[in-house]
Structure 1
Amino acid sequence: MASFKITGGRKLKGEIVPQGAKNEALQIVCAVLMTKEPVTIHNIPDIRDVNKLMELLVDMGVRREKVGEGSYRFQADKVNFDYFETPEYKDKASALRGSIMLLGPMLARFGKGKAPRPGGDKIGRRPLDTHFTGFQKLGAEFIYDPNDAFYTVEGSKMKGAYVWMDEISVTGTANVLMAAVMTEGTTTIYNAACEPYLQQLSKMLNSMGAKITGVGSNLLHIEGVKELHGCEHTMLPDMIEIGSFIGLAAMTQSEITIKNCKIPELGIIPDVFKKLGIQMEFRGDDIHIPAQTHYEISSLIDGSILTIYDAPWPGFTPDLISIVLVTAIQAKGTVLIHQKMFESRLFFVDKLIDMGAQIILCDPHRANVIGLNREHKLRGIRMSSPDIRAGVSLLIAALSAEGTSIIDNIEQIDRGYQNIDGRLNAIGAEIVRI
């Protein structure tokens, strides 16, 4: 198990380029299974979760060729279905939350799919019912064996149908969408997630020959086609990493320019950070964060305390709630952070409290942050990363703290952030991987 040793209190300065979007990559990489023709994908992040998923595809028989930095060509013309019955497949797929995204493409192209119960972040219940209910509405048969924790879906009799998503799930919508694209007839998906990741997936599938309309809304119409063709696709920059860098700049009083952000795709993310008092300047497609000695949390028109909460897109993404929380620690003012979607995601605040933050954890979903306004510095401690986003939040806190911190279990951070220590060290941080 690796750790980060962080020397805090350093002000950073320079330019940083966000990686490709992790959450988009997990969908896009699985979609290469939907055609036997070559598919080229650019801007794939070099992170643990995505690399493990690509290795799993290679084990299935998908050919992968690196054609440039962050660019790969895939061809799934010889998929080995016997591999899905092996203990190796179960072990590898169960360690990846993203492996559940293989089911939609397998159903679409081969009429059957099999996957173990996947792993991922320990951030509370993340039920998969939405995925399987959607498959069943298309006519698939679902079998779950509790003895070996395997999901099996048989889709040889699938037909287009009306699918109501009982949860606005990004991965659930993507899975059902991919299954429907090559299902005979017309499928309507209502209450669909509409995040930029879903829009990107839909655009990629349409470029392969799919017939999807309503892209960007919560109502998708799909006319089933018999086959898809190869394509070339470039992924968006990671909006969660962009938000993380905004929070990092504010907490460490650093001057940072975030390059190539695809600002129109960020939705309300910049506006939420502005509510914390963080200044930023859009320079073309770059975001410049000036060094700020102080930043003040906005209050509501009637003077009451600001609440920041997560919501389905175009609301504020839940993956940035942890970042906003840690950024508020050194602000002037008070903010209530309401994490609605995952009941265990705020439990890492006990480590921030140990560092000197003034936070009241009201319940598993809400935390009240009373900003220190730089009157007191956080102090370095030893802590452990419970999940990807909490891990980076702790890293931001450590970089702003006085003294030395050690963060254990940084494999969690590596799952979602590409060479984060190397890139931050290049602009003035002092992070040692031990």
Structure 2
Amino acid sequence: MSAFQVEGGKKLKGEITPQGAKNEALQIISAVLLTPETVKVNNIPDILDVNLLIELLGEMGVSIDRPSRDTCIFKADKVDTGYLESEAFRQKGGRLRGSVMIAGPMLARFGKAFIPKPGGDKIGRRPLDTHIIGFEKLGVRPDYNTGDNYFTLNGQDMRGTYMLLNEPSVTGTANIVMAASMAKGTTTIYNAACEPYIQQLCLMLNRMGARITGIGSNLLTIEGVTALHGTEHRLLPDMIEVGSFIGLAAMTQSAITIRNAGLGHLGQIPDKFRQMGIELFLEGDDIRVPEQELYSIQGNLDGSIPTIYDHPWPGFTPDLLSILLVVATQARGSVLIHQKMFESRLFFTDKLMDMGAQIILCDPHRAAVVGLARQRRLRGITMSSPDIRAGVALLIAALSAEGRSTIQNIEQIDRGYQYIDERLRKLGADIRRVN
């Protein structure tokens, strides 16, 4: 097991470029199963979760050529559908929540799929109801094996239909769209997720020959086709990395420029950091964060303490609430962070309190943060990363803190951020990976 050892309190400076979007990568790479033709994907993040999915496809019989770490050429012309019934698949698929994304393509092309009990972050319940109910409405017959904890899905006669999703789940929407792309007839999905990653998936599928309209809205219409073809696709910059780097610059009082940030796909992210009092300058497709001695949280118009909460797109992404919470600890002013979606995602605040932050964990979903206004710096401690986003939030706190911090269980961070220690060292951070 590895750990990060961080000497905090150093101002950083320089430029950094975000990796390809992790959440988009898991959908796009799964979609290569829809066609026996060649699909080339560029700007792939070299991270644990994505590499595990690529490895899984290889074991399924997909031909994979990786000329560079950020580019893969896939050809799924010899898929071994029997592998999905094996214990090896249940073990490997169970390590990665993203493995659920191969169900839609497998149903569309082969009429059957298997979903193992998913792994991933320990951030609370993440049920598969939206996926399974959506598949059922297309005519799929699911069977749950309680002994081995996996679903067997039979979709030999999928037909288009109207459905109203019980929640605008991103992975649920993506899975259903991929399954419906080759179902007989027309499928209409209302209350669909419309995040940029879903838009990217739909645009890619249309280049492959799918017929999807309503892209960018919460009402998608998919006219099923008999076959899909090869294509080339480039992943967007990872918006979560962009937000993380903004928070890093603010907490460490650093001047950092984020190159090729994908400004057209960031939604409310810049505005929410500005609400925290952080100065941002948008220049072309770059974000420049100047060195800032102090930042003040903007109160509500009536003078009351603001609440920042997550919401489906185009609302603020839940993956950045951990970063905003850390940023608030050194702001002037107070804020209530309301994490609606996951009931365990704020439990990492106990580590921040050990570092000296003033936080009241009201319940599993809400935390009140009283900013220290830099009158007292956080102090370095030994802590453990509970999930990807909280792990990076703790890393940002450690880089701003006084003294040495040790962050354990950094495999969680590696799942979502590529070469993060190397990239931070180029900005001047004192961070080492140790055993």
TM-score higher than 0.5: yes
Written as runs of structure 1 = structure 2, the 5 A alignment for 1:61-210 is 61-210=61-210
Consecutive unaligned residues in structure 1, runs of 5 or more: none
Secondary structure of 1:206's aligned partner = helix
For residues 110-136 of structure 1, the C-alpha deviation after alignment (integer angstroms, 9 at most, x for no partner) is 011012111000000100011000000
Provide the residue aligned with 1:326 in structure 2: 326
- How far apart, CA to CA, are the structure 1 residues paired with 2:150 and 2:329? 43
Counterparts of 1:156 and 1:428 in 2: how far apart (Å)?
56
If the length of structure 2 is used for normalisation, what is the TM-score?
Answer: 0.99
**8 Å contact kept, 2:335–2:369:** yes
Q: State the one-letter code of the partner of 2:95.
A: A
Deviations 1:188-213 (A, max 9, x none): 00000000010000000000000000
CA distance in 2, matches of 1:260, 1:185: 40
Percent identity for Structure 1 against Structure 2: 65
Contact conserved, 2:352 with 2:394, CA < 8 A, in 1? yes
Deviation string 1:42-101 (CA, Å, 9 cap, x unpaired) is: 000000000000000000000110133401100000001221122111110000000000
| SS, match of residue 89 in structure 2 | helix
Quote the Cα distance in structure 1 between the aligned partners of 2:69 and 2:138.
39
Q: Which amino acid aligns with 1:271?
A: D
Provide the alpha-carbon RMSD of the alignment.
0.6
- Structure 1 length-normalised TM: 0.99
Runs (4+) of structure 1 exceeding 4 A deviation are: none
Amino acid at match of 1:412: Q
What displacement does 1:157 show? 1.4
- Residues in 2 aligned to 1:69 and 1:365: alpha-carbon distance in whole angstroms: 38
Q: Deviations over 1:205-262 (max 9, x none)?
A: 0000000000000000000000000000000000000000000000000000000011
CA distance in 1, matches of 2:247, 2:306: 17
- Partner SS for 1:316: coil
- 1:398-413 correspondence runs (5 A): 398-413=398-413
Q: Secondary structure at the match of 1:330?
A: coil
Match of 2:236 in 1: 236
Aligned to 2:342: 342
- Where does structure 2 lack aligned partners over 5 or more consecutive residues? none
- Size of the aligned set, in residue pairs, is 434
- Residue 413 of structure 1 aligns to a residue whose secondary structure is helix
Q: Secondary structure at the match of 1:53?
A: helix
2-structure distance, mates of 1:262, 1:168: 23
1:368 Cα deviation from its structure 2 partner: 0.4
User: What's the secondary structure of 2:153's corresponding residue?
Assistant: strand
Q: Distance in 1 between matches of 2:21 and 2:378?
A: 31
Letter in 2 for 1:114: F
Amino acid corresponding to residue 223 of structure 1 in structure 2: E
State the AA in 2 paired with 1:331.
Answer: A
Residue 397 of structure 2 aligns with which residue? Answer: 397
| Per-residue CA distance 1:249-303 (angstroms, 9 max, x = gap) | 0000000000001101100100000000000101110000000000000001100
Hey, what does 2:303 align to over in structure 1? 303
Question: Counterpart amino acid of 1:230?
Answer: G
